[in-house]
Chains A and B, each alone.
Chain A
Amino acid sequence: MLLLVQLSCPCWQVQLCNLTPPYPTLSSLQVRRYWAGKAPDWATQEQQHLQDLSLAEGRGEPVRTEVAAPVVVQRKADPRLARLAASRNEDVEEVRNRHREVRAAEIVRRRAEEEARGEVPRPDSEEDEDDVGAKQDQQRVPEEDEGEADRRRQAVRERLIQQQKANEAAVQQQQQQQQGEDEEEEEEEESEYETDSEDEAYAGRRLLKPVFVPKESRETIAERERLEREEQEAELREKQRQEERKAETRQIVAEHVAAEAQAARQVPDEVQRNGAELEEVNTDDEEDQVEAFEQWKVRELSRIGRDREEREKQAAAAQERERLKHMTEEERREWERANPKIEKPKQKEKWTYLQKYWHKGAFFQEAEDDPRGTTGRDAIFDRDYSAPTGEDKFNKEILPKVMQVRNFGRSGRTKWTHLLEEDTTNYDDQAIKALSEKRRAIGAPGGAKEEFSKPKKFRT
């Protein structure tokens, strides 16, 4: 076996590692130089043979390979083979006699007989004289009368029926022998039904004697006149409809034009929001000077009003501050009573069990009161951030104790339970009761509840 292995030696050639004896000796592990075109030392005769073959193929010579044993492929039983086998067993004489047989079509009946009876040959019968007979017949049909042709056809049909009856009778006899009575009855009934309908059809086909119908009582003419009248009426109706439609379209167009005119006068919402193209925006100042002036007046007055209000507000606030600065203690207390600092009691919102706390983010919470602000406050900041969301909506109390933890799955997630389950205090004891009451009065940890009044500074 020959394997290609890249040796760990720092050479850049791939050496054949010869695993068959003789094993590589120390000398063979030495680095050999490579010459282009020269077969290396390790190339054996086998390799040489293979190389010769590949070269021969390249040159186009026939490559001689070892002859292998033929593989027998089993095919399906060929009918030809079977026939061959059968013919081998046959007698020569029998074969010759068979050859002498004339394989020609059987003549069921002769055309001459049919013509004598005055009938047309069946189309599906294969006779040698078919083509000739057909041509003859086609020549004859225009000569004969239509009545005779009809009679002939009728006779043919009757014969057909008789033949079918005979066939069915034979079939029925066979089936009577094989099957039960119920099926026979059905078949008989069917065949009877079929033959009845056919009989009636053919009975109706018998021609009536032609009788002259005067023009007035002829249906065809009356029908034609009726059709003409209907056409005329339809035309009239069409004309009327078209006129109506014209009137309608005129009305619609008028409405459309009126609506457009109105829309053009008003600035549509989209244009108000996004603006229009350069050409659409008219900045001519000569038009409507009066209107422009009026609009400006409105704007200017609103600006003046705004300025005045702001000035007054600021002046009032400054004055108030001045007054407070110079008040005496009693006045201050009175003032405080008059304007108590109403701090809304922060109702602690009820959160679900193990609800996660999401911080709103410290940035982008602009105050609305910024008078110079161009960007307002987004409505998203007014959302209720204490509402449960995502995983908070699931009831975590039905989970096993181990999983009742935020971020379940992270390492080190044991919930600190304040060792309540390991607590063996007997809470019925009097001393402990007194202690817990005292603690509750203080509020733990001390300082959590603000129950003293802080000195309030006055802003100057």
Chain B
Amino acid sequence: MANRTDKEAYTIHGTNPQNLVEYIVRNKIYQTVYWKESCFALTAETLIDKAVDLKAAGGTYGGQDKPTNFMCLILKMLQIQPDKEIIIEYIRNEDFKYVRLLGAFYMRLVGRPLEVYQYLEPLYNDYRKIRVMTKEGKYMVSHVDELVDAMLNKDHLFDIALPRIPTRYALEKTGQLDKRVSVLDEEFDEAMLEQETGTAAERAAQARRHC
């Protein structure tokens, strides 16, 4: 009864939004204490309170594949299906990094490819440290931009299969996206120039030596 998706929710990628989390992992989340205690009757606002208390991101861990609280909240978001504006607010907020990650991950699962690229790429500039739960149940240090990179370039994250989105190049070719502009573009170009000149100078030096 408590695990049904909201009646007024849209279908995502042609199916019940909760089906984005596959069956076994989903059942494991339903059986966790965190889900039963804290995730009951959450709304978009009360969900923020829970998200603020998050200490780590991660998928399932341990020999029993126990899901993290992060995953429970993601499933809750899929269940209640908050509006796009709320999700954009989650992503835009600067104070809480785990709230940001929740929003970004939800967007990646649910959003259209254009929106995904549009809202996730600004997060490349956020280099704050976060904790990620490893498979063994211990924690590792990671950064927000590393996770966002994984979201955009990999097909599995946090034990959830990410829906397929076209590559950036494909979207650029069709004209829907502009070329990616990064903050460090100029620095990159400078570095490339230096390298090229460096190699050219080396080659010149070698040639002189041989002659």
Q: Contact between A314 and B155 (Cβ–Cβ < 8 Å)?
A: no
Which residues of chain A in 364-380 are interfacial with respect to chain B, using CB atoms and an 8 Å cutoff? 370-375
**Interface code B138-160, partner A: CB below 8 Å = 1, 0 otherwise?**
11110101100100011111000
Given contacts A300-B124, A301-B188, A375-B156, is CB(A281)–CB(B139) below 8 Å? yes
Listed stretches B8-16, B34-42, B79-87, B176-184; interface member: B176-184
Complex alpha-carbon distance, A300 and B140, angstroms: 20
Closest-CB distance, A384 to chain B (whole angstroms): 30
Complex alpha-carbon distance, A305 and B130, angstroms: 25
Q: Contact between A275 and B134 (Cβ–Cβ < 8 Å)?
A: yes
The one of A281, A292, A373 that contacts B127, using a Cβ cutoff of 8 Å? A292
Q: Contact between B154 and A374 (Cβ–Cβ < 8 Å)?
A: yes
Residues of B within 8 A of A372 (CB): 153-155
Which residue of the partner chain A has the closest CB to B191? A301
Q: Contact between A300 and B129 (Cβ–Cβ < 8 Å)?
A: no
Residues of B within 8 A of A308 (CB): 188
Residues of B within 8 A of A311 (CB): 169, 172
Given contacts A292-B129, A299-B145, A371-B153, is CB(A276)–CB(B138) below 8 Å? yes
Given contacts A274-B134, A304-B184, A371-B153, is CB(A283)–CB(B124) below 8 Å? no
Q: Contact between B156 and A374 (Cβ–Cβ < 8 Å)?
A: yes
Q: Contact between B131 and A283 (Cβ–Cβ < 8 Å)?
A: yes
Residues of B within 8 A of A314 (CB): 169
Residues of B within 8 A of A281 (CB): 131, 139-141
Q: Contact between A296 and B155 (Cβ–Cβ < 8 Å)?
A: no
Q: Contact between B56 and A278 (Cβ–Cβ < 8 Å)?
A: yes
Q: How many residues from B make CB contacts under 8 Å with A?
A: 38
Q: Contact between B139 and A299 (Cβ–Cβ < 8 Å)?
A: no
Closest-CB distance, B35 to chain A (whole angstroms): 20
Question: Is A307's CB within 8 Å of the partner chain B?
Answer: yes
Complex alpha-carbon distance, A295 and B132, angstroms: 18
Q: Contact between A301 and B56 (Cβ–Cβ < 8 Å)?
A: no
Q: How many residues from A make CB contacts under 8 Å with B?
A: 34
Which residue of the partner chain A has the closest CB to B131? A281
Question: Is A452's CB within 8 Å of the partner chain B?
Answer: no
Given contacts A301-B188, A304-B188, is CB(A296)–CB(B154) below 8 Å? no
Complex alpha-carbon distance, A277 and B124, angstroms: 27
Question: Is A250's CB within 8 Å of the partner chain B?
Answer: no
Closest-CB distance, A285 to chain B (whole angstroms): 5
Residues of A within 8 A of B55 (CB): 278
Residues of A within 8 A of B154 (CB): 372-374
Q: Contact between A275 and B124 (Cβ–Cβ < 8 Å)?
A: no
Residues of B within 8 A of A282 (CB): 129, 141
Closest-CB distance, A292 to chain B (whole angstroms): 6
Complex alpha-carbon distance, A333 and B130, angstroms: 58
Question: Is A284's CB within 8 Å of the partner chain B?
Answer: yes
Which residues of chain A in 237-282 are interfacial with respect to chain B, using CB atoms and an 8 Å cutoff? 271, 274-278, 280-282
Residues of A within 8 A of B156 (CB): 374-375
Given contacts A285-B128, A297-B184, A300-B183, is CB(A277)–CB(B138) below 8 Å? yes
Q: Contact between A303 and B149 (Cβ–Cβ < 8 Å)?
A: yes
Complex alpha-carbon distance, A308 and B155, angstroms: 21
Residues of B within 8 A of A274 (CB): 134, 136, 138
Closest-CB distance, B151 to chain A (whole angstroms): 11
Residues of A within 8 A of B146 (CB): 299
Closest-CB distance, A414 to chain B (whole angstroms): 49
Residues of A within 8 A of B169 (CB): 310-311, 314
Closest-CB distance, B147 to chain A (whole angstroms): 12
Complex alpha-carbon distance, A311 and B154, angstroms: 17
Q: Contact between B129 and A284 (Cβ–Cβ < 8 Å)?
A: yes
Complex alpha-carbon distance, A308 and B180, angstroms: 10
Q: Which 7 A-B pairs have the closest CB atoms?
A: A275-B138, A296-B127, A374-B156, A275-B140, A283-B129, A275-B134, A372-B155
Other A-B pairs, 7, CB within 8 Å; known A275-B133, A300-B182: A276-B138, A277-B138, A278-B139, A297-B187, A373-B154, A374-B155, A375-B156
